[in-house]
Amino acid sequence: MSTTPAPAAASGTFPLGGDLPVHRLGFGAMRITGPDVWGEPKDPEEAVRVLRRTVELGVTFIDTADSYGPDVSEQLIRRALHPYAADLVIATKGGFTRSGPDRWEPNGRPDYLRRQAESSLRKLGVERIDLYQLHRIDPQVPVEESLGELVRLQEEGKIRHIGLSQVSVAEIERARATAEIVSVQNLYNLADRSSEDVLDHCEREGLAFIPWFPIATGTLAAAGGPLAGISADHGATPSQLALAWLLRRSPVMLPIPGTSSVAHLEENVAAASVELSDEEFETLAKAV
């Protein structure tokens, strides 16, 4: 039997919530659904292969949501991976309603969140959700009411840890007055660092920072650009360099690149072994 570590292990580990060690390079399960994150994927069998290969590559953190499909992503995860490996952490989210392709409406009503969390328990086939994230703060519902219901679910043993998505530092601190928050999931990548202050706050507070849309590179990957040049030096793709930069940026960073292709998955996970020099890291940091 081979003793070679799984590729994702090269990304290092982070103790999610203090008690769930995960490899820092995870997998985002949004793209295993249909176009515009709506309905079944064009090739469900390939989606199953992607999920199974994800675990084979050593990924121990999978992020999904009830709104992906809706419900499709969670059901595919159960079909592909249940019963789950002991070290696999599956995070899901609630707080959006879907009325059609690419339509997203926040809903933070306590009764809705409870119904969706309990539905996620059934669809994933688990007794407790390791990380349940409020997908968006609903401007029509005080966040204390939304999170208060998640705390009650936590007290009932249905949720282990609570996280937030797309929030400001002020919103994080307001939320922490009601619930113990262990993670924040915001838009962040090499080309869009508008959540830099949130990332710094998470690092100071020991919260996991989960960047969504992590491999966007903007114009940095254009011919003659800094990312293209450094990628060529490493024999790597711009996307791999973008992920390597994120992993280097902060020890609390948990990138979750997603894909519907096994080949693309393997390319993404290989980024865990790409090591940037100090000069390369700073060049990319200053490029935007």
pLDDT along the chain (288 residues), means of 10: 74 98 98 97 97 98 98 98 98 97 97 98 98 98 98 98 98 98 97 97 98 90 86 94 97 98 97 97 91
Residue 5 is predicted with a pLDDT of 72
| pLDDT tens figures, 16-37 | 999 999 999 999 999 999 999 9
Q: What is the DSSP letter of 39?
A: S
Render pLDDT for 57-96 as a digit per residue (tens, 0 to 9). Answer: 999 999 999 999 999 999 999 999 999 999 999 999 999 9
pLDDT for position 288? 74
Instruction: Tell me which H or E stretch contains 89.
Output: strand 89-94
What is d(CA 15, CA 272) in angstroms, rounded to the nearest whole number? 18
What whole-number distance in Å separates Cα of residue 26 and Cα of residue 11? 9
At 1 the pLDDT is 38
Task: State residue 287's pLDDT score.
Answer: 86
pLDDT at 3: 47
Give this prediction's pTM. 0.96
The pLDDT of residue 216: 86
pLDDT of residue 214: 96
Q: How far apart are CA 73 and CA 62, in angstroms?
A: 11
Length of the chain, please?
A: 288
Give the per-residue pLDDT at 4: 56
> What's the CATH superfamily of 12-217+249-259?
NADP-dependent oxidoreductase domain (3.20.20.100)
- Mean pLDDT, all residues of the chain: 96
Annotated catalytic residues are 68
The type of residue at 81 is L
